[in-house]
Structure 1
């Protein structure tokens, strides 16, 4: 692989979580440049594969494979035909093109998409399909056409081993970045007393075990001309997990949620070092051993309608944490500052994070 190409790779982040993603990227040995909406690194195809396999905070990996100037549609057509599509796309697999235009003389995204699709179909011979798994993304900004490939496919929060999902679930990518923002490195115990389908607990257990988040799924890059199956197999086998102690705990008053959590932990391969118990918040129990992190994503009231009872819930939560979890650090995810304050705990808000149409924050404080 001495002639391995070097290009820009854009790691898409959940808006508001670019900073912890940059820290994760740097910890894996890359040199991140933080931008609105994500993090940029440079590398080749092995970096693309590794980013998809290993990153917990990215939602998508885009390979920016080339760029050219185009001042009008005829020029776009001509230069798109000269683009080296055969280096990355296979002629036997369908492709679709998505185009955005901004501050450019080419302003009609539909017409631009048509020209690029026609160039790929006629020069490479690849079929076009609106539901194709291979997506070429063209961004036309200031008359510069940047061509990227979506190398991921389904969003990276879909780890491939979580089938059972509770209402209003926390995405795995967000859970991992909130844990990182709380300083979690795999060595501390984690407790979620309103665990739903177990996302925080399972994510923490996987981090502690050194399990690659993308180990159970496939990726769009496996259908590209640049894909090397043997190198990919070697990369996947290179991550050697280990067994951490039993220190990842979840509980919920909903028996169905606990069944989901246990099933998800089993599929993820972390059942031996996670524990899920069916109990209401009022019966919160302090895990044995050293203090750790208690992190919770309680109801915000947006889906429930009446927020009145939630103030009482948060006040109770704060009192229980204070009285039973001395030495533990608290992380609370909510869209409502008033609910965070209702806990009576000295919690400070983190950046605003987009979550399913809502704007949430992670509130956290010093050890209790």
Structure 2
């Protein structure tokens, strides 16, 4: 039950980046964060749910776990699900839909689970069922334990509301923020992205430095719940945490269209004044004046063998430029191909396992300060 007692809150993220997200959640002051497969759990109440959606950069969605019970057959599920605190959480005037997942359990028919929970909510609460949209109720039966969660985010959290212009296969803001964190970025050093595309790394880096909440411009599903307090939420959202960054951010790309896209996205986010953009090739890349910081890039990977071979000169030129001009700077490169990363000839630190990205698996290769 979720009355005034703390309950478990699950922050989903990209598999393989759970510990990185856990570090962020801990630093943001949430209690007892624990990295688990697929995300991070914390304990709290509805204010913590709102805050997690508003503050946390690396989570893709926030689930409020409102009930959990042992179940081994559908008749038992029928009975038990009607005792869940539906009226405490859902509103009778707001449409809902149910998604179910069953693994290693006596109950294995996901459609039957979804159908029974839908009927129970409809009959006990009177809320209408939605074909699409609506508040999403998630049921997961794993090893005969049924966990009922409410998706409090709605649209995935990488949709901050600022990045409308995108190029092909754009990196999600959530992933970019976690890769920045893996590179040791905390908002106090300059960041250079010489293949900036639609500007995702620059957006996230500048927002972190300016202490802008990632969810400040968007709507959340929790605003449609019975637990929502508009006055308390507005007070939480209106707290001014921003500051003027002490450093600048630099983006370049050989494609003029990418520079136009980046500028439009940065302006929508309100951070364009902190960023310098220019159309330039890798060979023209120079370190900005001032202290060293982080160079981070998501270069093209190539999806066919021939494409990858053709990209080797780009990676080699990138590495040579950095080694000759960027002494003291750290470097991060995101790519699908170990061979391409190694073509850069940079002194990479040990890598972690690849993570899923747009149907591929990518790895962050990053360095300590270059000699």
Shift of 1:22: 0.4
Match of 1:359 in 2: 361
* Aligned 1:97-108 pairs, distance under 5 A: 97-108=98-109
> What corresponds to 1:17 in structure 2?
17
Compared CA separation, residues 230 and 305, structure 1 to 2 (3 A): farther
Q: CA deviation at 1:305?
A: 5.2
Structure 1 position 244, deviation (Å): 1.1
Show the 5 A alignment for 1:199-348: 199-302=200-303, 306-348=307-349
1:91, distance to aligned residue in structure 2 (A): 0.3
Tell me the TM-score normalized by structure 1: 0.97
CA deviation string 1:130-183 (max 9, x = no partner)? 203200001112222110000001111111111001112111111111111111
- Displacement of 1:304 in angstroms is 8.7
- Match runs of 1:115-154 below 5 Å: 115-154=116-155
1:202 and 1:113 mapped to 2: Cα distance?
A: 39
Runs of 4+ in 1 over 6 A off after TM superposition: none
Helix, strand or coil at the partner of 1:351: coil
Q: Distance in 2 between matches of 1:256 and 1:153?
A: 31
CA offsets 1:273-304 (integer angstroms, 9 cap, x no match): 01111111121121111111000110111169
Q: CA shift at 1:103, angstroms? A: 2.0
Number of the residue aligned with 2:4: 4
Q: Counterpart of 2:53?
A: 52
Once the two structures are overlaid, the 10-residue window that deviates more, 122-131 or 301-310, is 301-310
What is the deviation of 1:238? 1.8
Secondary structure of the structure 1 residue equivalent to 2:77: helix
Which residue of 334, 337, 352 corresponds with 1:350? 352
Matches of residues 58-97 of structure 1 in structure 2 within 5 Å? 58-97=59-98
Q: How far off its partner does 1:71 sit?
A: 2.2
Tell me the distance in 2 between the aligned counterparts of 1:246 and 1:345: 25
Rounded Cα–Cα distance in structure 1 between residues aligned with 2:154 and 2:83: 26
Question: How far apart are 1:337 and its partner, in Å?
Answer: 0.6
- What is the CA distance between 1:109 and its match in structure 2? 0.8
Structure 2: runs of 5+ lacking an equivalent: none
| Residues 97, 131 of structure 2: 8 Å contact kept | yes
State the Cα distance separating 1:307 from its structure 2 match. Answer: 1.6
CA–CA distance in 1 between the matches of 2:234 and 2:342? 49
Distance in 1, matches of 2:324 and 2:84, equals 65
1:36 is aligned to 37
CA distance in 2, matches of 1:303, 1:239: 48
Greater CA deviation, 114-123 or 136-145? 136-145
CA-to-partner distance for each residue in 1:82-138, whole Å, 9 max, x for gaps? 222000000001110001112222111101111110000011000001203200001
Q: How does 1:174-213 map to 2 (within 5 A)?
A: 174-213=175-214
Mapped partners of 2:67, 2:304: distance in 1: 44
Cα distance change on mapping 1:250 and 1:218 into 2, 3 Å: same
Secondary structure at the aligned position of 1:92 is classed as coil
Instruction: Tell me the distance in 2 between the aligned counterparts of 1:8 and 1:78.
Output: 23
Partner-residue secondary structure (3-state), 1:158: coil
Displacement, 1:328?
Answer: 0.8
TM-score in terms of structure 2 length: 0.96
- Output the CA distance in 1 between the equivalents of 2:306 and 2:78: 52
**Cα contact 2:66–2:85 (8 A) shared by 1:** no
1:19 and 1:38 map into 2 onto residues whose CA distance is 8
When the two chains are superposed, the root-mean-square deviation of aligned CA atoms in Å is 1.3
SS of the aligned residue for 1:116 comes to: helix
Q: Report the count of equivalent residues.
A: 366
Q: d(CA) in 1 for partners of 2:305 and 2:217?
A: 34
